[in-house]
A and B are shown apart, each in its own frame.
Chain A
Amino acid sequence: MKAKTTTRTAKTKVKPLTDKDRLALFRMMVRIREFEEEVQRSYLEGLVHGTTHLCQGQEAVAAGTGFVFRDDDYVGYTYRGHGHCLARGMDEEGAFAELFGRTTGVCGGVGGSMHLTDIDKGLIGAFGIVGGGLPVSVGAGVTAQMNGRGQLSATFFGDGATNIGAFHEAMNIAQVWKLPVLFICENNLYGEFTRINHSTPYEDLIRRAEGYAMNAVQVDGNDVEAVYAATAEAAARARAGEGPSFIECMTYRHRGHSRTDPAKYRDPKEVEAWLARDPLKLYEAALIKRKLLTREKAEAIIAEERARQRAASERAAAAPWPDTDTIDYAALTFA
């Protein structure tokens, strides 16, 4: 698909990807896919509790944007945030252990799948309330602006979040204060079980940004290099003090909203069309065409990542439960 933009600056130059970068992007997408597949398997085994929201099909967004961020940037996301955490280098064993409710989890098992976070990696939080994380990312954007070191604050959300008040307040404040915030919308066409045309007056959410006079771009969210380029340009603007951007990534989740959702509300033809545009398959084909990869090499990477996630999951499953007698709720709640 052709990218749409509203405003543009020709000043910003995006660092071109090297061959090594491309292979790293491919591997990250495979890692996220295999992580999510392992989560799904673990869920069926009863290791993951409650619910979990998987992102298979949306890996190019997490990988492509994550490649742009600096270590000192702030990244906020949602309950569908496993991919964003991995793209930022979250330890997979700690992530699995968190999903399994074990004491070795990244949040000690008190957070769970919807609240994976690691402030030391600039992962400021996973928000389980739709749109709830956006104002918080605006605050991290104020920090970035006040620090004056060219940091940025990125916030991920779905198409459904653009209908809630918090989104609009956050967009408005970010633009009025010219904050270095990237609003990254993963438009997967469904808010929970409801298709976008039933909840929103238009499907091109880039139009939301026009109302805030915000720089905006719409990209093929299944094309990892397109996501990278759009994010890199928006990031350069933000770091240069030119304000926030809205990046709409058109994508699709292969699975339902959450683990109990078979997603039967979707037109099979629509599903088929998007599965044919699986971001991993698209990028594998592109890299084979560039002679950076062969089918066999791709398979080897997939097998490596699968084994890596399997091993991390097995180690996590062997970890102990939090101790109900010694857990210190007061210290968890108050500094």
Chain B
Amino acid sequence: MQEITYREAILAALQEEMRRDDKILIMGEDIGPSGGPFKTCQGLYEEFGAARVRDTPIAETGFVGAALGLAITGYRPIAEIMFADFLGVCFDQIVNSIAKHRFMSGGKVKAPLVIRAIGGAGLRFAAQHSQTGESWLLSVPGLTIVCPSSPNEAYGMLRAAIRYDNPVVVFEHKALLSTKGPVDIGGPIPPLTGPKMLREGSDATIVASLAMVGRSLEAAELLAKDGIEAEVFDIRSLRPMITGPIVESVKKTNILLTVEEQAQVGGWGAEVAAQVTDAAFDYLDAPPGRVTLPDFPVPYSPPLEDSVIPSPERIAAAVKALV
């Protein structure tokens, strides 16, 4: 295990995979000699050249669509979306072309491509540059959607996504880029999908994604001081949404709380709550709880932004209200 940042973990995954397979190329805005606005592509251009590390015009529809064209003709492209908010610009290509192309061909076409979208709040980027976007594509069959919450997950999931033979959208979080953690460099490729239990507990089950995973773990520590032991899951993949281990946990704890960095309506927490309720209704001691952003855009002013992002204290209080 090496202690590296989330940013370095992304870069390490890209480097390793591109060294392994020369059919892999990456496209995005300012990712060439500049190394990417968030420096997740630093050095790739120098190592792999302009043909495989392509600086694109500011044209997400163009280059995300091009990724599909490359994928169905034998390459394994990666498209970097500088801010996940910009997924709105290329929604048609993702929803109507990328997600459906294999299906419409009668299962004859293979589209191995990865869209990396860097999102999330906390860095004072205001309403159009702070969305996680993680649920925007939730209702689109044909996509695989993953959300790495730590350097090790960022490294492992990106390698798994690049090797997968179907389109994957990887939601990364910019507030996590500088966070450090142990990474199993060169280790086995982890499963691309499915939740992971990060803390054991018997009194409540907390399910979170991206930056909310760390805050939920902090909340669990606060709760432990009051004698409440929370079990914490990283949801990891939103599509497919695999809730089996979460259901098992709720059967033990009888309490479910989801934590996500986006508005409540249309969030993935509702789907987790529905699936758990379907499978373990009789085990629930309280209605499933959800901690989210308010139903408004993300504000700019630091005290305002800080107050809308779920804090460990807010998550802990939500658990206490349920137990």
Contacts and interface: CB of A to CB of B under 8 A. Distances in A.
Interface in B52-111: 54, 56-57, 59, 61-75, 77, 92-93, 96-97, 101-111
B200 interface: no
Contacts of B245: none
Nearest to B63: A173
A139 B68 contact: yes
> Which residue, of A134, A135, A146, A172, has the highest number of chain B Cβ atoms within 10 A?
A135
Interface stretch (A47-55, A101-109, A288-296, A306-314): A101-109
Nearest to B112: A335
B56 A108 contact: no
Contacts of B71: 139
A135 B65 contact: yes
Given A138-B65, A139-B68, A166 B108 contact: no
A135 B108 contact: no
B142 interface: yes
Contacts of A334: 102, 142, 165-166
A2 to B, nearest CB: 33
A42 interface: no
Contacts of A120: 108
Interface string A108-145: 11110001011110001101110011111111111110
A143 B106 contact: no
Given A107-B108, A173-B59, A136 B65 contact: yes
Contact of A143 (B75, B93, B105, B108): B75
A169 interface: yes
A139 B65 contact: yes
A293 to B, nearest CB: 38
Interface string A160-197: 00000110011011001100000000000000000000
B37 interface: no
Contacts of A146: 25, 51, 75
Contacts of B92: 129, 132, 166
B59 A172 contact: yes
Contacts of B67: 139
A74 interface: yes
Given A111-B104, A119-B108, A142 B62 contact: no
Contacts of B109: 117, 119, 125
Contact of B61 (A141, A166, A177): A166
Given A132-B97, A169-B61, A119 B70 contact: no
Contacts of B104: 107, 110-111, 115, 117, 125
B182 interface: no
From B68, B104, B107, B142, name the one whose CB has the most chain A CB atoms within 10 angstroms.
Answer: B104
B106 A105 contact: yes
B69 A140 contact: yes
A333 interface: yes
Given A136-B68, A335-B102, A169 B62 contact: yes
A170 B73 contact: no
16 contacts: A110-B103, A119-B105, A129-B92, A129-B96, A132-B97, A134-B65, A135-B61, A135-B66, A136-B69, A138-B62, A143-B75, A173-B57, A173-B59, A331-B107, A333-B103, A333-B142
Interface of A: 74, 76, 105-111, 115, 117-120, 124-125, 127-129, 132-144, 146-147, 153, 165-166, 169-170, 172-173, 176-177, 331-335
Top 6 nearest A-B pairs by Cβ distance?
A139-B69, A135-B65, A169-B62, A107-B106, A139-B66, A108-B106
Interface of B: 25, 51, 54, 56-57, 59, 61-75, 77, 92-93, 96-97, 101-112, 141-142, 165-166
Given A132-B92, A166-B92, A169-B57, 18 more contacts: A117-B105, A117-B109, A118-B108, A119-B109, A124-B72, A135-B66, A136-B65, A138-B65, A139-B67, A142-B70, A143-B70, A147-B74, A173-B59, A176-B57, A331-B107, A332-B103, A332-B107, A334-B166
